[in-house]
Amino acid sequence: MHTIARPIKYLLSGISSTSAIITRFIRSVRIAHADLAAVTRDLSDLRLLLELLRDEPGVPPLLQSWLTRTHESKEGRSSQQDSRVASFASHGSGGSSSGSLSRAVFNMSPVSHHRSGSVSPAFSLPPFPSSLPPEYRRTWTYPPAPAAQFVVPPPSKQSPHLSQVQITPKRHLTDKGKTSEILHIDTSPGSCYIATKHSSKLVKIWSVPKSAIHGTIKITSYVQPRVRSREYFIRSHAILSENATLIAVTTHFGLTLEIYNFAKGGSGAKKVQVIGEAHRWTASQRDAFHNEYAGLAVYRPKLDRIDRFFLARNPGAKTPFREDPNHSIELLKADLPFLPKFPELAYSSDSPFLIAAAGPRPGDPPRPNAVILIAWHMKPVSHSKLHAQPPEQSSTSLPDEERHKPYRVCVPDYPALQTALPACLAAAGSTAVSIWIPASTPTESSLTPTSISSPSTTTRSHPHHHRPSNATTTSIITPPAPDRLVLTWDLPSNTTRLFSIPACAQACISPDCRRIAYCDAVAGHFAIVDAASAAEVWRWPDAARECGFASFGQLENLDSVTVFEFSSDGRMLVVGDSSGGAGVYEVMETGPRFELGVGSEVAFRKGF
């Protein structure tokens, strides 16, 4: 739980003679809710502190004014102590005549179900729980900056003192037959297969060692595939296992998940299982055959539940994946600050965490912060369940309710993030990285009908698919799209970091959460950013000028790049283009090397 230690230290900076009393007061006073009326329990220590601080040098003028006013009203002090504390918490900002402190200074309380407001001084607080709940920590540092002054920084330029990245072309996967552009890419856990989505009815599986097509899967889909945006959140497909040769593909209206066995190759892929109501789903980066956890998660909004499936090891199982009710997560029982809807899901690539990220949805009640990040610590599936025969369906409730409780919950307080929706999410170890697309907020001038007489009067937000008309018509000017936001979440400290990438850029996150790649065709560059430092470690066309880098004709013509993804181990970058080809690039880390020079000097060299 939070205390008022940090606000008091900030307000009383420069005062040293009363540090012992301040420390005693800080240690004794704890606040269980988002209101300072809770300090009425320790008025004896507070009164002693105020008496000592009244004539102390260095006290801020606003606090000095309030202390003087408090000291002058000695009569009836015992009956007025509660109102003083309430005034300390609820009066106006520093510009008010009362001279009381702004509530913004103390708005650092943990998120709770208690609705903050004016609480009666006689309000009795519940006792502290024996075990601390998950920590809901805000991201601001002290002193908190006003929301309007916070500017999301873009990635910084390359620095010779940071490890860089070298991209090397390895393979160019092409098909002799006529094919359409690639819109989705996924690599297998061992990077032996690459699956590409070419149209609403065709998925190709490529063998990377052979640089040839292994097989094709024809599906039934009534939704035209597109690159992910605020209007399109369907996940196309994912290779679940190399050992069991299983792939999951979204079909029909984007809510049905079909699992195919592609061992035969060619067009002989066999459908082995169908999972319905898969509004959001994710698969672990680890091979499902060697994964002891339920590595397939499906979100179903009707029951606000995340169902999890594990790969059965029994050869006699009718379906490869089995749903385990003991591992399902009910969001209504998770004790969250608010109920997230349609969250983006991701498994940590090398630790037992399931991450969810959600933003505001239509119909949600207004709230100060509408973005939430959640992490659950998973338990492995028992050996007996992995190898047992499928159990009969049962609707009985399960006694284990701890599985619903999250390991960490974070409610970021960035103003630029409050209208955004997650478009990409990845997790590795104790770090989660997500890319968010904010909503465009039209200004008052942009809502005025305007006569459009030439293409130059409009903003082209989708250069590949939308072209303005030359006809003169009355329309609404579309405001510039806001930058996409990259949010890094560190689970142990429950802190976040935010930076931006260009608005119209395609982007992806490496599964190890070390790098973000984005392509801005309008600006004419392709960049890779280090997620930890938010610094560029590789950039096109600078790489072509410095070291003569040449791709398979893809980066030379960025307008042809449609989608790109990192491999499961982060060592390959697969780039798809409008001609249906896929370029495979090796990602190698190069770093600065420091060598001893003459005397105490250090000579800097770049090397492998």
- HEC per residue, 262-289: CCCCECCCEEEEEECCCCEEEECCCCHH
Is 533 a domain residue? no
Rounded CA Rg of the chain: 29
- How far is the CA of 535 from the CAs of 6, 160, 436, 575, in angstroms? 31, 11, 18, 22
Phi/psi of residue 416, nearest 5 degrees: -70, -15
Is 214 a domain residue? no
Sign of torsion over alpha carbons 90, 130, 489, 358: negative
pLDDT for the residue 259: 97
Please list the rounded mean pLDDT of every run of 10 residues in the chain (608 residues). 45 46 48 38 51 54 54 46 38 37 34 32 35 39 43 68 77 84 93 92 93 93 84 90 94 94 90 95 91 92 94 84 89 93 93 93 85 93 76 51 91 91 94 92 41 32 37 48 89 93 89 93 90 89 75 85 92 92 89 48 44
pLDDT for the residue 220: 92
Sign of torsion over alpha carbons 56, 62, 65, 66: negative
In this structure, are residues 528 and 471 in contact, taking their beta carbons and an 8 Å threshold? no
Query: What H or E segment, with its residue span, contains residue 62?
Result: helix 61-72
The whole-angstrom separation of Cα 520 and Cα 541 is: 12
Q: How many domains does the chain have?
A: 1
Is 16 a domain residue? yes
Question: Exposed/middle/buried for 548, CB within 10 Å: 0-12, 13-18, 19+?
Answer: exposed
Is 102 a domain residue? yes
Is 577 a domain residue? no
pLDDT for the residue 487: 96
Query: What H or E segment, with its residue span, contains residue 322?
Result: strand 321-323
Which residue range forms the structural domain that includes residue 77? 5-110
- How far is the CA of 182 from the CAs of 241, 527, 532, in angstroms? 22, 20, 30
Is 41 a domain residue? yes
Q: Which two tokens stand for residue 53?
A: 């601080």
Is 70 a domain residue? yes
pLDDT for the residue 314: 80
- HEC per residue, 356-399: EEECCCCCCCCCCCCCEEEEEECCCCCHHHHHCCCCCCCCCCCC
From the CB of residue 373, how many other CB atoms can be counted at a distance below 10 Å?
26
Phi/psi of residue 575, nearest 5 degrees: -115, 125
pLDDT for the residue 494: 94
Is 133 a domain residue? no
pLDDT for the residue 424: 94
Residues in a beta bridge with 498 = 487
